[in-house]
Structures are given as C-alpha cells and as structure tokens.
Structure 1
Amino acid sequence: MVRILPLLLILWFALPLAAEPVVDGEWPRWRGPFDNGVARGAAPTKFSSTENILWKAEIPGRGHSSPVIWKERIFVTTAVDTGKPAEPKPAVAQAPAGGRPRPGGEMPLLEQRFVVMALDRATGKKLWEQTAATETPNEGYYGTYGSYASPSPVTDGKILIVSFGSRGVYAYGLDGKLVWEKSFGKFEMRLGFGEGTAPVLHGDVLILNFDHQGDDFIVALDKSTGKELWRKAREEESTWSAPLVIEHSGKTQVIVSATARVKSYDIATGEELWQCGGLGLNAIPAPVYDGENVYVMTGFRDKNMFAIKLDGAKGDLTGSDHVLWQNDRGNSYTPSPVLDDGILYFTADNGMISALDAKTGAPYYVQQRLPNPTKLKSSPVAAGDYLYQATEDGDVVVLKLGKEYAVEAVNHFPDEFFVATPAIADGKIYLRGVNMLYAIGE
C-alpha cells in the first residue's frame, strides 16, 4: 500500500545512465556515478584516524549502508534499538545446498528505530533526521557483518530513496520531507543472514529486487509516487546483489545476478530479455558493464565469474558464444568488483586481490594477499591512479591501479571495523566505521 504525502513537484532532468553528465562532486548511489566503483579525480592516499581527517560525525545505532552524496549533503541510514525487548524466538535452521542445517543469524531482541540522516558535507553537522519506521524486525542478521540498515540509499538530486527491506521503502525530498512510503511485506532470508540489496534509480523508474526464501520478485515503481509499474516473479533463493541498469543498442535493461544465473529485463515492461546460467549460490557481487560486455560473479559454492557479450543477446545464453570467458580463481564472495580502464579488480573475503583483463579474462595478477592478513566485506573503490580497500581490521589499503600488484599505503584506524563501502567525491573519501563517519581530505 502506498501513502503519498504533499511535496513540491519532483522533476527528472537527467539523461539515461549511459549518457548522464558526470560530475566530480557526487556519489549518488552505492557503486558510484558510473556503477563500477570508480570516482573521477584523485583522492588522498595517506591518512589515518588523526591524519587528513576533515571532520568526523557520530552515527547512532548500527548500519553497514554506504553514504551517498549529492552537492552539499551526505545521506546515511541506520537502525537504533529503542531498548524495548521483543519476544525471543529461535532462528530458522536451513540446510545449505549439499550441507547440514545450521543456525541462522542472530534473532532480534530489541525494537528498532529505522533512521535516515542528512549531514552537511563541509562540516559533518546533522541537517535533518527522520524515523522511517519503529518496529521489531521479523528476522535477525549475520552477527558480525549484518545490520538492519545495510541497503545503501540512492538519489538523483531531486529525490532520495531508502530501502529498509521488510520495514518498507521510503522516498524523501532532499529536505527530509517524506514523499511516499510502500510496504512489500516480510522477507525470509536464507540462514537468517539479513537483507541488503540496494535500490536503483533510472530516470523516472525505481528498481527494487527482493530475492528471498519466499515468493521473490523484481518490481519497478514510479519514483515520484511509488506507483507500481510492473512486477515479475523471480523464483530464486536469497540473493544480495544490486541490480545494474544499462543502455545497450538502444535498449535499457535491468541486469540482476541470482542463484545459478543472471537475468536481464526490459526496464519499460519487465519482459525478460535474456538469461545466462553459470553462477553459484549466495549471489552478492553486483554486475559491471564496460559499454560492450557485462561481467558477473559469485564466490561461494560453484563460484564463477564470466563475461557476457551483449550485442545480439536474446533468450538463454548458457553455453553460447555470448559467454566470452570464465574464471573461478580468487572470486569475491561479498565485495563487488571495480572496473577501470579495461581491468577488473576484485577482492576475496579472505583478504586477497586479483586483476584480470576484462576483454579476455587473462590474469594480470591473481590472489595477491593484502598487507596485514585480514578479512573484508567492503567493496573496493577507485579514484585517480589508486584503488582503496577497507578491511575488518580498521585498515584502508591503497593499491596502484594497473597490471602489476603494488601497495601504495596502509592507513590504520585503531578500534575500527569497516564493512560499509567508502564513497569518494570531489577528491575526498567518506568512510563509515562502526559508529563514525569520517571525511578524509588534504
């Protein structure tokens, strides 16, 4: 059910994604302005909790969503427990494919307040805060890496879209006024791992994908009103991969990874354009696109990465010449790849990084271990000549982009734990830790 609130008329002024004007000063969605983890311009390579910190702002509660940036505002989401206890219940034990049942994520014991915040980009001062919902979650999340505020918001400079999954989807003006809200019911995620798929905006259309253990679906909404434009059943297991919207050969399509396969939909109608099998379980990394091919990956069981040629793509592409190459070494389980200057960079959860030629799949280097052996969930990002990887140990490792593995710096934040992916805009890095957002610049 949609509830529409009065607001100024919302107009869309941007061209389609493939032709959007690129500005240095914005990071409007989770994987940045190009959907490949890359920012225009350079950013600092040497910093720490005390060096090159422009400001830091405390973020209450818990959330692993990434900040998004538009002009003078930074938007973040979080979940703050109210202290009100709920009736405890056991997590559902589900059997992984080929494995034994094991307990799911931590079950919620406290009511949560689901919060959207806007900060001043220059100072970190809070501009506004809205509580989208206050309720007890229906499920928990993976204790170490999960949160009730993991999906990153998205903005086009006119409207801000926030998804709290089972707690609803909310549209705000950039001044914090609620435009509409919509509920899609409660979702049951595999092994109680929690929800985490980011919403996607393209023109007037908002795309949401809800793959879970129940009746899952992908849906398109009018961004200004929340009106449903189309919905397609997915018949998939739980996934966490964000959709990718691209324009190719005059057709705008929505590409979504899933269990065992990737699918493409016509953004105007929801019609399936093509699909390709070959992915594994627990799809998390987002697809990336270079203007000709799309690259998809899973890193859990039956892990695989492959390149799909989009010219002429139609129907089932499994095993066809459209699959240009495949790779099963060093694949990311959680982080999404960076695609820059024809090179795919991807990091595995065990702290290793690989780089491949995107056109051929030929490796430049494979499974090179990052300094300070570590684990990671955050996705890498890139700016200027460097790639940045935040880790669970409070490090941000900076590597040189290119065909050779070369570490430029290891920047340490004592007592920090990074799961959220950094945002980079206008030469500054915005890094979310456990309860702090850091603005890094020179």
Structure 2
Amino acid sequence: MLGWRSPSGQAPETLTGDHLLFYKRACCQSNHAHLKYSMAKIISIILTCLLVQNTELLQADLSNEGNWPAFRGNGNSTTSLAELPLSWSDTEGIAWKVNLTGYGQSSPVIWGETVYVTSTGGDGKEKLFIEAYDLSSGEKQWVQEFEASRTPKEVNDYISRGAPTPVVDEAGVYAFFESGDLVALDSSGGVRWQRSLTEEYGDFVGNHGVGSSLINTPNSIVLLVDHDGPSYLINIDKASGKNRWKIKRKARVSWSTPLYLTHNSLEQIVVSSNGEAAAFKLEDGEKLWWVEGIEKNTVNAPTTNGDIVIIGSSEPTQTMAISLGGSGDISESHVKWRAGQGVTSSFGSPLIHDDTVFFVNRAGALQAASVEDGSVLWERRLPGSTWASPLATADRLYFFCKEGPTAVHSLDVNKTSEELAINPLTVAEGDRLYGFAVAPGRIVIRLAEQLIAVGE
C-alpha cells in the first residue's frame, strides 16, 4: 500500500452550498469537457438552481451534459443527451474497441474526454487495475496497477470480480475493489490517497463477494458495505480520504448501490438492503426514515423521480414506491404502492421515465407500470435477460442484454413502446455485457475484458 498523499490545487470556496456545487460543475464542464459554456450559460445554471424549492436531484444537473460520473450516471440511469446511436453490430457503428488489462464487472465512467474503468487480474484477484482511455479514439492514456490488500474468494460467474463502479469528477477518479482497497487518483493517474477498508474494519464475509458501487456527492463518496460480518455505511471526504462519518449496521448481505438525492433541500442517501429501505442524512449519517419487512431487495439500486423512490425486489409483491418527505418508521404511512404478483425486478435496477416505471425480470420480460399506482400498463419480451441497468433518453429506452444484444425502444405519447432496433454484439463464452456509460454521440459498453464504443 502506498502512503497517504494530500491532493493539491483545491478550488477556492467563493460560494457556498448548492450555489457552489452548480458553479463548480459549470466551470468544470467548460474547462475539462470542452463544452463551450458562456458566462451567461453558467449564470443561467446558477439561477435555475436558485429556483428549485422542493425536490432537487443534484447529480442530474450537469452530469447528463457530457459526463457520466458514476454507476447509472446521475444515479437514475437517465440522460438528456440527444443523438445517441440507434443501430450497431460487430461490424458496423463501432467507433473503437479495446482489450482491458484485467477482468471486471464494473461499468465505465466518463469525465470530459476520458473513459475510466476498473478490473482485476490473477487467480485470486490479487491485481487491481484502473485504466483511462481517450473517448474519441480509444487510445489508452494510462493504467495504474495495485496489489490487493486482501485476497477475496475464488473466481466464478457469481462471485464479484471488479464489480464496484468507480466515481469520477474534476479532481480525478475514485475506485473501490472487493479486496477492500479504496484509492483516489488524479486525472493523470497519480495517487492522491488510498486506504484498505478490510485492514481497518475487517474482511468481507459472504458467498458472492462485494458489488455495491461508490456514490458520488459534491464533496464526498459514500459506500455501503453490507455482508455477513460487521456491516456499515461510510461517507468519505473526497479531498483527504478521511471519514466524515461511519454508521454501523447489522450483518446482512446486499449488493445494492445506494442513491444520492436532495428533497426539500435535505441531502440524503437512500439505501435498499436485505429487509429494509432507509434514508440517511448526508451531513452526519442520521437515519431519517425507514420501511421494514421488504424481501429480496438485495441487488437493485433505488431510483427516484424526485417525489417517490422505487425499491426493486426479485420477490413478487415486494417491489414498491415510497413517497419522500416522511420521517421515522414510514412502513404504513408513506408506501405509495406495492407492485402486483407478476412484477419483479432482477439484476437491472428499475427505470423511471416521465410517469412510467420499467422493470426487467430474471427471464428478460420488460414490464411498464404506472408511477402513480404501480398498475402494469404493458409487457414486452426482450432478446434476453439483463445484468446491466437500462438507460432512458428523452424518447428512447435501451436494454443491454447480458449475452450481447441491446434492444432499443421508442416511447410515444400513448406510453407504449415500439422496438426500433436489436443490436447484436458477439460475447465470448462465459463473458457478459456488464454495463455502459454515455457521452455525446457515444455509448461505451463494458464486457468483462473489453470496452466497445458505439457511435460514429
């Protein structure tokens, strides 16, 4: 393990709170993503922030304007980007394809003109890799290799292999591995700080490894570590790598990634984990509300439209919508609806688009339900089951099937869908399509040992 090193070049704190966040991100987009914002545009963004009163989804402000900074982008797997590719195959519509240094199940992340991705190597996953690639050409910019501080369980399809997705911002990239290693690099690959959470808090115990990804907040990263041993939710300062707070949790197994949102000006982390959904105050970790008695909510990430949070489950009648704004035990008062017997959500997380929420079950059946009451509006069959979460644009849905095909659907005013394309990609035996990231005109798809950028 390398020693601690403090990052340099901290941005001046000339504004405070949400105003500072929006200003920094606007400026960062201008400087690093080559998006030519004028000062009028920056001021417009700040004024828009000031007008938001009740529900603010802070991660959605500029992350959809060219960056894809974390798992599911803004946390909801939606983008405002237009002109994303519609059709591709092994021989058409491919901008570039690269072989990765190791094997991984994480999604790529994008900041400006750089794609970042993590992977592991070695029989015991003792090698950890963080790589950076040029978004336009696929040229490798750098790779950082680390020795794992712990050797996790054996390798197979159902034990995590580089599963947690990293976070990226203007300062660099933050990566977490199932060995417990947590590292922050600058945009050139230099080490800013690193830690081993297993050395500090004990080994992870469970049959399937660790899958929860880092959560991106303005000044910190949040991580859920739920397993058969001492579990916790931890908030870590981006600049120093030190804990802001750490909440002890009872032993329970979960691979779900939490959700960062702001409701009524209160920043909170929503956690869906074996038996419970709950929200914690970002500032100090105070538990704000909870719903108990949920079954098999161990994989899906929560998703929100700003008024409700959808909790997905692979067990019938356990998928639910929870109204935001409650406090304490809201199991009776704020559960807006529970899905019917036939609605389940498997590996891919639920997706909200306008007033419709989409679920994909283990067999690859797509179900559209009303956000208002959970009633099923229509059903479709996808080309296969999915491990990656789906993607919503303004007028399209993308479903990334684990064996390689991507189904693209349109949405019309009648809230039904039309299949526009099925885009095949050849996936090697034993491989999977694990995740994706989006940028203007591009979708970067993650296979176990490859990145494939589609879009001319």
TM class, shorter-length:
0.7 to 0.9
Match 2:140 to one of 119, 126, 129: 126
Distance 1:153 1:59, change over 3 A: same
Match 1:14 to one of 21, 24, 34: 21
Distance 1:18 1:193, change over 3 A: closer
Give the superposed CA RMSD: 2.1
What is the distance in 2 between the residues matched to 1:340 and 1:236?
A: 34
Q: Which residue of 2 aligns with 1:219?
A: 234
Q: Identity of paired residues, percent?
A: 29
Q: Which residue of 1 aligns with 2:243?
A: 228
Q: Shift of residue 282 of structure 1?
A: 5.2
Q: Which residue of 1 aligns with 2:212?
A: 197
SS at 2:73's partner residue?
A: coil
Match 1:426 to one of 440, 444, 451: 440
Decide whether the 8 Å contact of 1:378 with 1:418 is kept in 2. Answer: no
What is the distance in 2 between the residues matched to 1:280 and 1:153?
A: 28
What is the distance in 2 between the residues matched to 1:110 and 1:255?
A: 33
Greater share of helix residues, 1 or 2? 2
Whether 1:258 aligns to 2:276 is: no
Q: Shift of residue 405 of structure 1?
A: 3.8
Whether 1:437 aligns to 2:451 is: yes
- Paired residue type of 1:288: T
Matches within 5 A, 1:263-302: 263-281=278-296, 283-300=298-315
Q: Which residue of 2 aligns with 1:44?
A: 85
- Paired residue type of 1:5: R
What is the distance in 2 between the residues matched to 1:243 and 1:157?
A: 22
SS at 1:420's partner residue?
A: strand
Match 1:361 to one of 361, 371, 374: 374
Cα deviation code 1:4-53 (max 9, x no counterpart): 214323338633826733553111111113x2111222311110111111
What is the distance in 1 between the residues matched to 2:447 and 2:261?
A: 31
What is the distance in 2 between the residues matched to 1:291 and 1:232?
A: 25
TM-score by length of 1: 0.86
Distance 1:354 1:77, change over 3 A: same
Decide whether the 8 Å contact of 1:133 with 1:167 is kept in 2. Answer: no
SS at 1:160's partner residue?
A: strand
Cα deviation code 1:292-344 (max 9, x no counterpart): 111111114x6611111112x00001122x11111143321211122111211
Q: Which residue of 1 aligns with 2:49?
A: none
Matches within 5 A, 1:315-334: 315-320=328-333, 322-328=334-340, 329-334=342-347
- Paired residue type of 2:376: P
The alignment covers a number of residue pairs equal to 406
Match 1:238 to one of 242, 253, 257: 253
What is the distance in 1 between the residues matched to 2:404 and 2:100?
A: 17
Match 1:408 to one of 405, 420, 424: 420
- Paired residue type of 1:252: E
Q: Shift of residue 228 of structure 1?
A: 0.9
Unpaired segments ≥5 residues, structure 2? 14-19, 23-56
Decide whether the 8 Å contact of 1:75 with 1:117 is kept in 2. Answer: yes
Decide whether the 8 Å contact of 1:335 with 1:349 is kept in 2. Answer: no
What is the distance in 2 between the residues matched to 1:392 and 1:120?
A: 25
What is the distance in 1 between the residues matched to 2:434 and 2:10?
A: 30
Decide whether the 8 Å contact of 1:139 with 1:188 is kept in 2. Answer: no
What is the distance in 2 between the residues matched to 1:18 and 1:161?
A: 16
Q: Which residue of 2 aligns with 1:116?
A: 130
Q: Which residue of 1 aligns with 2:185?
A: 172
- Paired residue type of 2:302: P
